[in-house]
Structures are given as structure tokens and as C-alpha cells.
Amino acid sequence: MSLITNVMDHSLDDGYAEAAARKKADGDGGLPKTLRAKLGLAVGLVLAALIVTVGAAQARVEAPAVAKEREELIDRIDEETEAADRLEDSVDELRADVSARQREALRHSGGNDRSALVGMLSGATAVHGPGVRLVVNDAEDASAGGDGDARSTSGFSDTGRVRDRDMQRVVNGLWESGAEAVSINGQRLTALSAIRAAGDAILVDNRPLVPPYTVLAVGDGGRLSERFQNSADGLYLHALQENYGIRTAISVEDDVRLPAAPSVIVRTAQPITEKGTS
């Protein structure tokens, strides 16, 4: 108890005061005593003040230059973005022109039903008819799903997102179930179409898609829907819904309309000519 009482009655401030008094009595006040020491301290303080002043002045001088460079960089980015947009518009116009010329060539390639069928199956012409509408969307909680699952081993931690391989299986399942024409978010698929990923984005023929993904398929609506839902790919989609919260909805439609593909260009395959024909 005496120790506690002593600590409470005599704070640490008394000890500091005693040490300062002892230091003062010894003639050591903490400040330089000689003229040389005082001059050294003064020079050090002046140098420190000079360095701070020069640094502040230099920062003030360079600030407008940095701001100007930033504005110039922003202007260049805006100009290049506008140029890219103009080029994309030009590409779209050229694709539309090529597509129109292809459809015109098909109409004048004999005028028979076979040429029209080839145009529909190749995606060169717009089509409509009964079919199904399938909507696939990310989970409401996009981080749904457990760690260590096969879907998370591809480098994507967010297993509640629809992946390019998911849409590949959906499209292949519809084709296998009897679809005659398919589109995703208004983009017509052909035998040359590619569904790929760029980061977390899904690309169809190098065009990015935004969820929800609406897949339209022309075919025998009721039969197409039933066959797809009972197929391996339909069950795979149902498993994604049950395990990861990915939202899906399929409905039979009396009439769905699919646009023509922007361009169908065959670079490798060549037709086999019959004997006696050129």
C-alpha cells in the first residue's frame, strides 16, 4: 500500500523536474554555449528554411505545368475515343452494306427456295417464326458460390457471374435441341460465330454483351423448350441456378424475330464444282 500511495502522491513530473534542475546546476541547458556552436545551429536552421522554401516554390511553379499536361492527355484520350467511335460506325456501315449485297446475291442466284434456305441457315438473312426466349442473368449476389468449386478454378473468384462457357453450352444445347436460328442480345449467331471472354465480359464475335443475356431461338417452340430443358446443357443451366443463384427464365413464343448477321465471310472453304460446270 505504501508503494501505491507513493506513486499517487509523487507523479513522474517531479522526477522530470528534478532531472532538469540537476542538468541546469551542471551548466548544461541543452543550448549551444560557444559562438561556433551557435553559428552552426543558425546555419542549419537557415538551410532547413531555405530547402523548405525552395521546395514549395518549385512545387508552385511545376503545378501549372502538371495540370496542363494532364489536360492535354485528357484531350488526346477524348480525341482518340471519338476517332475509334467513328471507325466503329464506319465498320458497322460497311458490314451492313456487305450483308445487303450478300442477301441481294442470294436472291438473284437462281431465285429458288434452296438459295433462300441457304441464306436463312447461314445467317445472311433475317428470319422470324415460333421459338423460345431464354433469359440468363447473373445472380443477385454475384459472389454466390463456394470456394474450391470447379467454376472458381479458372481465375474468376466471383462464381455468381455468367461465364462465356455457360453461354456456349446454352447455345450448343439449343442447336442440338432443334433450333434453326439463334441470337444473343440481338446478335445473330452463325457457324463462324465465337463466344469468348475478355476479363469478366462476354464477347460474341468480338462484341461485348451486357447482362441479362436474352437468347432467341427459332424452332418448334414447345418441342424445342422441352428438349432443351431435358438435355445435358439444360440440366447444366438448371444446376447453375440451383447452386449459384444464376437467374434463368425460358418461355415459348409464337413469333420471334432474328436479325441477319452483320457479315458472313468464308475465307477457307471452297465449293466443289461438278464435272462439266465452271
Lowest mean pLDDT among 17-21, 39-43, 65-69: 17-21
Greater pLDDT, 229 or 89: 229
- In this prediction, residues 205-231 reach a mean pLDDT of 93
The per-residue pLDDT for 213 is 95
Q: Which CATH number fits domain 129-258: 3.40.50.300, 3.30.70.20, 3.30.70.1880, 3.30.40.230?
A: 3.30.70.1880
pLDDT of the residue at 42? 79
- The mean pLDDT value for 221-248 works out to 94
Q: What is the mean pLDDT of residues 203-215?
A: 91
Please give the pLDDT value at position 205.
Answer: 86
Q: Residue 101's pLDDT is what?
A: 77
User: How many angstroms separate the Cα of 259 from the Cα of each of 131, 183, 189, 200, 253?
Assistant: 14, 8, 10, 26, 16
Looking at this protein, which amino acid is placed at residue 274? E
For residue 114, what pLDDT is reported?
A: 65
pTM (whole model) above 0.85: no
> What are the boundaries of each domain within the chain?
129-258
Does 171 score more than 90 pLDDT?
A: yes
pLDDT band at 147 (very low <50, low <70, confident <90, very high): very low
The confidence score (pLDDT) of residue 133 equals 97
Q: What is the mean pLDDT of residues 181-207?
A: 89
Alpha-carbon distance of 270 to 272, in angstroms, equals 7
Express each pLDDT in 78-103 by its tens digit: 999 999 889 888 887 887 787 777 66
pLDDT over 60 at 150, yes or no? no
What pLDDT is recorded for position 215?
96
Q: If you average pLDDT over every residue of the chain, what do you get?
A: 79
Mean pLDDT in residue range 200-216: 90
Q: What is the pLDDT of residue 260?
A: 83
pLDDT of residue 157: 46
43 pLDDT tier (thresholds 50, 70, 90):
confident
What is the b/e burial string over 194-230, where b = at least 16 CB atoms within 10 angstroms of the residue's CB? ebeeeeeebebbeeebebebbbbbbbbbeebbebbbe
